[in-house]
Structure 1
């Protein structure tokens, strides 16, 4: 290997890696702050005027609620205003994760305080003014539900299923391909060509779409042609309602397929779009800042529900211990959510790779073209934005960093790529 290198470090492009819904989430968070602040002022003023200590206490609690939201809102505003600041080497996309990690610590402290207060009341019960406490808890729940509604949507990062944009099939009731996930061939009948990987290694399936169409394994084959020119031929077995390839399909699933049928060859193409599977995709896309705000209001709503149940049972049956018990349960729920948020945001702040399959797909794209990946790092730089640094060894003189940039453009979530090219043999 020669010691000559050709590298491209991404000069001439921006490093804005904010989430797609950044400004919308920022507005939502400020709206929740306004709601909580209004409620806080109303409770403190009302409690002071009418001599209700419980109302004042809940108003002060609402101030901590607004303070937690303020962390998220300021993170959004600061990240947006400094998105083009060159001092941030990879942009401000991770600021939301830092805010989420901070909020997780605040949630953990709140859980400890609630648990401490609840345990103390087990040993030293205090009189409960039910006629005041229950309406306040109900009002608090309504405010939390309104906050949940304001923050609702797909921005808080809960994953519902998978998202594959490259023709994968995840099985309907009869394991047949959905029409919009298949490639269609018309050759004396209609046939659907799909990639199936519902709980099994990915394989090709060819399914007749007209009742009179029938294929046999000895008259069918498929050959994939990848961007680097490498080919692989697949033979098929009869599975009854469809033919299935006997060989597995390696990632990435971006290639041209020559399907040989009795009437000749037919060409179809599978393109890799948003890459990621299940939780890996959700993690790479998730906005942890709005998630932290969402978790906070959900946790507060859960505590309000538990408090209302505990107060009603305590008043109806004299079970005074139900109120602190509800507090302990609420503390455990908040602690669990806090740990999940802390774990996810901490991993991103430490540059853990949330999508290993993306890294393997990047490796395959390069090595399928006959090159060798010497070093590869993939990490998240913002919601929906991944970055990659790759060192390649090649004996192809004409392959510059731009060649690999073009080859990796198919991965839409890969927003920042740095390539180092090492010539092997050519200049030795």
Structure 2
């Protein structure tokens, strides 16, 4: 009868760092965003301001992005120990950030197209009313930025929460378009530069596109299981090969969440040590949260044995 326990050799697969405070604040920002969106779209339509209308629709897409943010948090919490997910739900926040980045890019394209149309076909703007609503929108955006700012920067020091980073970029984008809308409306009212209203929509779309592209660059390699940077991998190989006659024959190191890496390493030696011995050599590499090592015994006739853990 088998009486031994295998607990020593079992691995932890929950690599989710749930941001409870971030989830709660995302709810608050969602409510503020939806209310302001309705006001700005209605006011932009009534008063004829493209910058104000663009800001309203922009906030509408951000409301969808915040729903993605909240869903990603809830999914990660619910499936943190789901055995059907090989390495847990650690990438849920990364996927949320990537999806929100796509939403940012769509916002930018919509803004660009509508702004060019308004630049070619100017419309009459009721400046006083539009400025008042734009200031209201900016006030809400500033509140939202401060709600997410502390949490976003705090988690930057501990780990990468791409979901929260995406939400933070969305409220920054809202604040930017509000500032541009106010500038455009003031320029149109006092100097007669009605074309600035459409131009600011174009400028805003370019800046938002840059933010979206930057977030996509950060999240897509994680979703595609990109390898850890070469210098770090080389240090791991050198550490293993410095001992006796070890040779690393195969190595894979990739992110399994926003801030956790997994590694699968195969090595061969004429006089191999135990797996625990090789794991001990790698304890200084604290980026690796989950490691599997295959040890092969090499002779003149080839591989005759291997050990994995």
1:194-242 CA-partner distances (Å, limit 9, x unpaired):
xxxxxxxxxxxxxxxxxxxxxxxxxxxxxxxxxxxxxxxxxxxxxxxxx
Where 2:252 maps in the other structure, the secondary structure is: strand
Return the offset for 1:86.
0.6
* Aligned partner (choices 235, 252, 256) of residue 377 of structure 1: 252
Query: Is 1:325 the equivalent of 2:199?
Result: yes
**C-alpha contact (below 8 Å) 2:40/2:137 kept by paired residues:** no
Q: Deviation at 1:344?
A: 1.9
Match of 1:178 in 2: none
The higher relative CO (CA closer than 8 Å, separation ≥ 6) is in: 1
Provide the C-alpha distance between the structure 1 equivalents of 2:292 and 2:151, rounded to a whole number of angstroms: 31
What is the RMSD of the two structures over their aligned residues, measured on CA atoms?
A: 3.0
Of residues 8, 13, 32, the one that matches 1:15 is 13
Which has the larger share of helix? 2
CA distance in 1, matches of 2:230, 2:291: 16
Higher mean C-alpha deviation, range 418-427 or range 123-132: 418-427
Match runs of 1:218-229 below 5 Å: none
Task: State the alpha-carbon separation in 2 of the partners of residues 158 and 309 from structure 1.
Answer: 33
Q: Tell whether 2:77 aligns with 1:118.
A: no
Asked if the contact 1:156/1:287 (under 8 Å) is kept, the reply is: no
- The whole-number CA distance in structure 2 between the counterparts of 1:124 and 1:52 is 16
CA distance in 2, matches of 1:17, 1:37: 33
With over 3 angstroms needed to count, the CA separation of the structure-2 counterparts of 1:297 and 1:44, relative to structure 1, is closer
Q: Which deviations, in whole Å up to 9, do the C-alpha atoms of 1:82-123 show, x marking residues without a partner?
A: 010011101111111211111111111110110111100111
- Which stretch shows the higher mean deviation, 105-114 or 335-344? 335-344
Structure 1 CA distance for aligned equivalents of residues 65 and 109 of structure 2: 16
Q: How far apart, in 1, do the equivalents of 2:112 and 2:196 lie? A: 14
CA contact (8 A) 2:254 2:263 kept: yes
Question: TM-score, normalised on structure 1?
Answer: 0.62
C-alpha change, 1:96 and 1:158, in structure 2 (3 Å) is closer
**SS of residue matched to 1:376:** strand
Task: State the match for 2:145 in structure 1.
Answer: 148
- In structure 1, the partner of 2:307 is none
Structure 1 unaligned regions, length at least 5 = 1-7, 160-281
In structure 1, the partner of 2:287 is: 413
Higher strand share: 1
Distance 2:36 2:162 in 1: 26
- Would the aligned equivalents of 2:48 and 2:124 in 1 still touch at CA under 8 Å? no
Q: TM-score, normalized by length of structure 2? A: 0.84
Q: Distance in 1 between matches of 2:170 and 2:243?
A: 48
Whole-angstrom CA distance in 2 between matches of 1:303 and 1:57: 8
Q: Distance in 2 between matches of 1:39 and 1:120?
A: 24
